[in-house]
Chains A and B, each alone.
Chain A
């Protein structure tokens, strides 16, 4: 009877220790998550390092974009675009594509063909990212819409520049002077 009582006491002690360990571990994780959520809610003062969770980096990038620092926002998105979680990666690519698209659209509407090369590069980046977002989630209506818009504002190809060819052959035909205005 005494042995049974000791056994029950040992079991109760084990339960107490195990419960304490589980509660402590869970409590610690909840505190960490609460801190991360506070940082996601207001990421302005967050200092990023290699241990910062991707969602906090995402929030920081978005805050930077809101303040007009698009380049830094894109740089941060680039650091998390290979996250192993597809749904998260999809959001990253969508945001990157949309920022590129917004930049391209404002430049295209403001400067038109004068900024042909930059607009073209930005639109291509927007397309690539929005396509990747749609590969990861074909049902994303916003990504579909923005990608279609990226196609709409894709600048038409510029006229091919004239070849400034200079022959090196010693052929008589290659060195004959042309007749201005075209010959008969």
Chain B
């Protein structure tokens, strides 16, 4: 029996030492501090109470021990409870709201709080002490109750128009821009049409409507518009080259051929065609439409 006594004592002492080391690793949770509220509060004030508890690693607060939002007595309510934990400490922030009606300065106490911590081999509960709070009245103490004027009702507030005026402006802007562009494309916006040769030819041709000898002038105007468009003089034999560079006028190829034939007869054969003005005007209008689309 004695020969086992020494090894047993050694084993026991080692085990005790190990257990002691294990306990050293976890310090128990310990109340450290809380905010003091020297400031005076009035009805409806929010009071922030920060409770700091020092803890060891692995020690955490039991959420069930935290107070729940709601009334805690007849003059204070808990509005919010937040926790912030690190390895070394846990901070519990409680937001109270004061509903204490007083006629003169008074002091009351927010009740003490017991917080439970878990982990790390178990920690005792931590009690945060009561917190004294000073409360002042809003209504001056000397005024009799019947002389106090109750604050007035809130008026109805007109509804704000925002953001609809902005949306309306945006919509009208987009509508206007689209409309202007479409009109411009169709040549229905003369002030913005720009110096387009066939547009100007149409306008000049219309001015000739009442002139007695207008056929030659009409042909000249149309020639000038073609030359301006091409950037050079366009003759009948170079019409195809012109149409290759300006395919937008391909749709009036036949009318152009006829126009050159008409022009040749009028200027070189001295033939009179009473219908020349009307044909020139018609051709100019078609050319103007094509010119708009391609511009």
Contact = CB atoms under 8 A, between A and B. Distances in A.
A122 interface: no
Residue among A22, A55, A148 having the largest count of chain B Cβ atoms under 10 Å: A148
Interface stretch (A29-37, A162-170, A173-181): A29-37
A91 B185 contact: no
A118 interface: no
Contact of B175 (A19, A134, A147): A19
Contacts of A19: 170-178
A26 B171 contact: yes
Contacts of A62: 153, 155-156
Contacts of A79: none
Contacts of A53: 159
A73 to B, nearest CB: 9
B46 A138 contact: yes
Nearest to B154: A91
Given A2-B294, A55-B156, A148 B137 contact: yes
A41 B155 CA distance: 10
B44 A143 contact: yes
A86 interface: no
B79 A33 contact: no
A147 B150 contact: no
Nearest to B184: A12
Contacts of A24: 171
Contact of A138 (B45, B150, B153, B164): B45
Nearest to B46: A138
B275 interface: no
A7 to B, nearest CB: 12
B153 A29 contact: no
Interface residues of A, number: 65
A13 interface: yes
B99 A131 contact: yes
Contacts of A148: 42-43, 101-102, 137-139
B104 to A, nearest CB: 11
Nearest to A29: B164
A166 to B, nearest CB: 34
A51 to B, nearest CB: 15
Contacts of B240: none
B210 interface: no
B179 A16 contact: yes
A117 interface: no
Band of interface residues on B: 35 or more
Contact of A22 (B46, B99, B170): B170
Contacts of B156: 40, 43, 55-56, 58-59, 62
A81 interface: no
B269 interface: no
B168 interface: yes
B46 to A, nearest CB: 5
Contacts of A29: 164
Contacts of B235: none
Given A1-B247, A12-B182, A153-B145, A33 B150 contact: no
A94 B148 CA distance: 18
Contacts of A36: 159
Contacts of B97: 134-135, 138
A169 B172 CA distance: 90
Interface string A1-17: 11001001100111111
B99 A147 contact: yes
Contacts of B177: 12, 15, 19
Contacts of B79: 135
Contacts of A13: 178, 182
Given A18-B174, A148-B101, A55 B153 contact: no
10 contacts: A1-B248, A22-B168, A22-B170, A23-B168, A33-B159, A43-B156, A142-B154, A144-B138, A148-B139, A149-B150
Given A30-B161, A95-B154, 9 more contacts: A1-B247, A2-B248, A15-B175, A21-B171, A22-B171, A138-B97, A142-B152, A145-B43, A148-B43
Interface of A: 1-2, 5, 8-9, 12-27, 29-30, 33-34, 36-37, 40-41, 43, 53, 55-56, 58-59, 62, 65, 91, 94-95, 98-99, 101-102, 105, 109, 127, 131, 134-135, 138, 140, 142-154
Pick the 4 closest A-B CB pairs, nearest first: A151-B101, A19-B174, A16-B178, A23-B171
